[in-house]
């Protein structure tokens, strides 16, 4: 399979699927430029070769053509980050897109309008894919965040480039990082799974049990396990229909020699509020009317020991309600432990919306080996699924 470096883009038009689904404020300013910055190395390589670039992306979930979801709002920020005056096509189909692409000269960058203004994009429509394909000479997929979707621009389009298709640098790095954890990990391997629901992580847990040595369970899903084991969880969040499942996971882990670490103490609160009264209690003895909202000090000590002995760490999900300062300590401390382990030579991969948000909020991003840009896509890869956007390039 060809990589980006196998191509010389001189006088070639590269049509790149990027993930510029970035957050905007009420004045349409980009509030987080990470995804645009992540695509820059791929774009730079093509321009440096003497090629031109056609960028295509979606933004939000528009119902038809809606101005608030227009990619024109990000042209200024994209131009600034790329250091090139980005041209904009006010449509991603028809003569507007065709003419703008035809006029493109080497060294120039064109951004097409939001692909999801057409329902055919998400439907994986062949005609739309063929139309988009006709705009470029080489197809580059650099959008990991949408690689798990069989959309016209992420998967179907690749059929029209039997030889001239490749991953961008970002997508290649995403695949490499996840495979490093799943297939080539240095042991011991530790997975930290947080968040509120066991149900959303069950397939991940089942797929990675064979590949890990330790599993640290934190966040709201803790209480489903604790209740299943007979503990008193007060008013803590719990999936009552998943108690049997929680016990099954513990049994499977034991059979595979995976050490499961559940919190032993928690910061409990008498309300779901930053201003609530708090106390540190045994995780199996949470009083009625109280709920566990963060990991306690004894739990953090145990977690620290495991993390610092690990050579490979996967972090998916926070340890508490980190959005509230009162309950952010567990997640911050976990970040500190993983940063320290990484500094000592461990490989750390962070993925999933909440963990990535926490890593950015508390300044841990540069201290991790890799922070994934795709929440759903990363989870599906960890579940062992083949992503259509990746298979389309490899096929």
pLDDT digits (tens, 9 = 90+) for 217-260: 999 999 999 999 999 999 999 999 999 999 999 999 999 999 99
Catalytic amino acids? 35, 197, 353, 376
Name the β-bridge partners of 191: 215, 314
- According to the CATH classification, is domain 4-167 in 1.20.140.10? no
pLDDT digits (tens, 9 = 90+) for 356-384: 889 999 999 999 999 987 777 888 888 88
Model confidence at 309, pLDDT cuts 50, 70, 90, reads: very high
Checking if the pLDDT of 99 tops 80, the result is yes
Checking if the pLDDT of 1 tops 80, the result is no
Checking if the pLDDT of 43 tops 80, the result is yes
Considering the chain, what percentage of its residues have pLDDT values greater than 70?
Answer: 100
Q: What percent helix, strand, coil does the chain show, rounded to 5?
A: 45, 15, 40
Identify the CA nearest to 381 among candidates 182, 167, 150, 140.
Answer: 182
pLDDT digits (tens, 9 = 90+) for 339-353: 999 999 999 999 876
Model confidence at 205, pLDDT cuts 50, 70, 90, reads: very high
pLDDT of residue 369: 96
Same topology, domains 4-167 and 175-382? Answer is: yes
Per the structure block, which two tokens stand in for 149? 């979707």
The ranges assigned to domains in the chain are 4-167, 175-382
CATH number of the structural domain 175-382? 3.40.50.1260
The pLDDT of 301-319, averaged and rounded, is 97
Name, in order, each residue with C-beta under 8 angstroms of 335's C-beta and a sequence gap of 6 or more.
358, 359, 362, 364, 367
DSSP string, 336-366: HHHHHHHHTT-EEEE-SHHHHHHHHHTT-GG
Name, in order, each residue with C-beta under 8 angstroms of 38's C-beta and a sequence gap of 6 or more.
170, 373
């Amino acid at each position: 399979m060809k990589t980006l470096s196998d191509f010389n883009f001189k006088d070639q038009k590269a049509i790149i699927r990027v993930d510029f689904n970035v957050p905007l404020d009420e004045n349409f300013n980009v509030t987080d430029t990470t995804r645009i910055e992540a695509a820059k190395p791929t774009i730079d390589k093509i321009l440096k070769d003497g090629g031109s670039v056609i960028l295509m992306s979606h933004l939000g979930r528009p119902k038809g053509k809606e101005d608030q979801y227009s990619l024109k709002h990000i042209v200024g920020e994209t131009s600034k980050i790329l250091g090139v005056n980005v041209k904009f096509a006010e449509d991603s189909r028809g003569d507007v897109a065709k003419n703008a692409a035809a006029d493109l000269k080497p060294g120039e960058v064109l951004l097409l309008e939001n692909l999801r203004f057409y329902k055919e994009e998400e439907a994986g429509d062949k005609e739309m894919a063929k139309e988009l394909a006709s705009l470029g000479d080489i197809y580059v997929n650099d959008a990991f965040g949408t690689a798990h979707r069989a959309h016209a621009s992420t998967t179907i389009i690749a059929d029209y480039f039997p030889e001239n298709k490749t991953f961008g640098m970002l997508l290649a790095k995403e695949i490499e990082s996840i495979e490093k954890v799943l297939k080539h990990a240095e042991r011991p391997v530790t997975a930290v799974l947080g968040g509120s629901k066991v149900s959303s992580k069950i397939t991940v847990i089942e797929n990675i049990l064979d590949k890990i040595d330790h599993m640290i369970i934190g966040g709201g899903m803790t209480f489903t396990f604790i209740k299943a084991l007979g503990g008193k969880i007060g008013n803590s969040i719990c999936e009552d229909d998943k108690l049997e499942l929680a016990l099954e996971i513990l049994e499977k882990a034991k059979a595979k020699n995976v050490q499961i670490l559940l919190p032993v103490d928690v910061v409990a609160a008498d309300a779901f509020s930053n201003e609530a009264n708090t106390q540190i209690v045994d995780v199996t003895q949470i009083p009625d009317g109280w709920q566990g909202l963060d990991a306690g000090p004894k739990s953090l000590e145990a977690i620290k020991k495991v993390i610092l002995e690990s050579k490979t760490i996967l972090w998916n999900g926070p340890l508490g309600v980190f959005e509230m300062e009162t309950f952010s300590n567990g997640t911050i401390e976990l970040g500190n432990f993983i940063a320290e382990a990484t500094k000592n030579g461990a490989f750390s991969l962070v993925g999933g919306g909440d963990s990535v948000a926490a890593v950015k909020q508390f300044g841990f991003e540069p201290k991790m080996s890799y922070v994934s840009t795709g929440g759903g896509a990363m989870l599906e890869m960890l579940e062992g699924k083949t992503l259509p956007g990746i298979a389309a390039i490899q096929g």
